Amino acid sequence: MEHNPLLNGISVKEHDETRQGEAFGSNPATQLNVNAPANGKQFYVESYGCALNFNDSEIVATLLNKEGYGITTNYKEADLILINTCSIRENAEQKVRERLRQFKAVKKTRPETLIGVLGCMAERLKEKLLEQEQMVDLIVGPDAYRSLTELIQEAASGHKAVNVLLSREETYADISPTRLSSNGINGFVTIARGCNNMCSFCVVPYTRGRERSRDAYSIVAEATMLFNEGFRDITLLGQNVDSYHWQNEAEGSLSINFAQLLAMVAAISPDLRVRFSTSHPKDITDEVLYTMLAHENICKQIHLPAQSGNSEVLERMNRTYDREWYLQKFNRIKELIPECAVSTDIITGFCGETDEQHADTISMINYCKFDFSYHFKYSERSGTPAQKKFADDVPEEVKQQRLDEIIALCRFYAHEKNKAAVGQTFKVLIEGPSHKKVDGQLCGRNTQNQMIVFQGGQAQKGTYVHVKVTATTTGTLIGEIV
Binding partner at 205 among ligand F3S, ligand SAH, ligand SF4, none, C-beta below 5 to 8 Å by kind: ligand SF4
Shortest distance, position 204 Cβ to ligand SF4, whole Å: 4
Candidates 45-53, 273-281, 303-311, 350-358 — which segment interacts with ligand F3S by CB under 6 A? 45-53
Side chain identity at residue 156, one-letter code: A
> Considering only residues 86, 152, 234, 469, which one is a binding residue for ligand F3S as defined by CB under 6 A?
86
Host H or E run for residue 401: helix 396-421
* Binding residue (CB under 6 A) for ligand SAH from 381, 402, 417, 445: 381
The nearest distance, CB 118 to ligand F3S, in angstroms, is 10
CB of 416 to ligand F3S, least distance (A): 29
In terms of Cα–Cα distance, which of 171, 278, 266 is closest to 227? 266
Stretch 350-379 residues interacting with ligand SF4 (CB under 6 A):
none
Cα three-residue angle 316-320-326, rounded to 5 degrees: 105
Please identify, using beta-carbon distances, which residue of 285 and 425 lies nearer to ligand SF4: 285
DSSP state of 266: H
The single-letter code of the amino acid at 102 is Q
| 347 contact choice in ligand SAH, ligand F3S, ligand SF4, none (CB below 5 to 8 Å, kind-dependent) | ligand SAH
Q: Among 194-202, 296-304, 424-432, 449-457, which window interacts with ligand SF4 (CB under 6 A)?
A: 194-202
- What residue type is assigned to position 257 of the chain? N
DSSP secondary structure string for all residues of 295-322: -TTB-SEEE---B-S-HHHHHHTT-S--
Q: Report the 10 Å Cβ neighbour count for 105.
A: 11
Stretch that binds ligand SF4, among 108-116, 164-172, 192-200, 348-356 (CB under 6 A): 192-200
Kindly state whether residue 280 participates in binding ligand F3S, applying the rule CB under 6 A.
Answer: no
Our CB check for ligand SF4 shows the closer of 136 and 202 to be: 202
Residue 14 CA to chain centroid, in angstroms? 10
Q: Tell me which stretch binds ligand SAH (CB under 6 A): 154-162, 329-337, 377-385, 465-473.
A: 377-385
Contact 230, 184 (CB under 8 A): yes
Rounded distance between C-alpha atoms, residue 391 and residue 468, angstroms: 52
d(CA 19, CA 378): 25
**Residue 281 lies near ligand F3S (rule: CB under 6 A):** no
CA 255 to CA 131: how far, in whole Å? 45
Looking at residue 202, what DSSP letter applies? -
> What are 421-425's contacts with CB under 8 Å, separation 24+?
421/450, 421/469, 421/472, 421/477, 422/469, 422/470, 422/471, 422/472, 422/477, 423/468, 423/469, 424/468, 424/469, 425/466, 425/467, 425/468, 425/469, 425/482
The reply to whether 53 sits near ligand SAH by the rule CB under 6 A is no
Cα–Cα distance measured from residue 368 to residue 416, given in angstroms and rounded to the nearest whole number: 13
In the complex, what is the shortest distance from the CB of residue 320 to ligand F3S, in angstroms, rounded to a whole number?
Answer: 20
Answer for the pair 196, 205: CB distance below 8 angstroms, yes or no.
yes
State which of positions 197-216 bind ligand SAH (CB under 6 A).
201-202
Q: Does residue 124 belong to the site contacting ligand SF4 (CB under 6 A)?
A: no
Look at residues 243, 245, 260, 364 and name the one whose alpha carbon lies nearest to residue 313.
Answer: 364
Element at 381 (helix H, strand E)? none
Euclidean distance between CA atoms 307 and 376, whole angstroms: 9
Residue 58: which of ligand SAH, ligand F3S, ligand SF4, none does it interact with, CB under 5 to 8 A by kind?
none
If one asks whether residue 139 binds ligand F3S (CB under 6 A), the answer comes out as: no
Among 192, 204, 284, 442, binds ligand SF4 (CB under 6 A): 204
Among 7, 45, 88, 148, binds ligand F3S (CB under 6 A): 88
Query: Residue 205, interface with ligand SF4 (CB under 6 A)?
Result: yes
Out of 170, 345, 353, 431, the only residue in the binding site for ligand SAH (CB under 6 A) is: 345
Interface residues with ligand SF4 (CB under 6 A) are: 195, 197, 199, 202, 204-205, 239-240, 280
- Residues near ligand SAH, by CB under 6 A: 10-11, 88-89, 201-202, 239-240, 278, 280, 305, 307, 345, 347, 376, 378-379, 381
Query: Which residues of the shown chain bind ligand F3S in the complex (CB under 6 A)?
Result: 49-50, 52-53, 86-88, 119-120, 203-204, 207-208
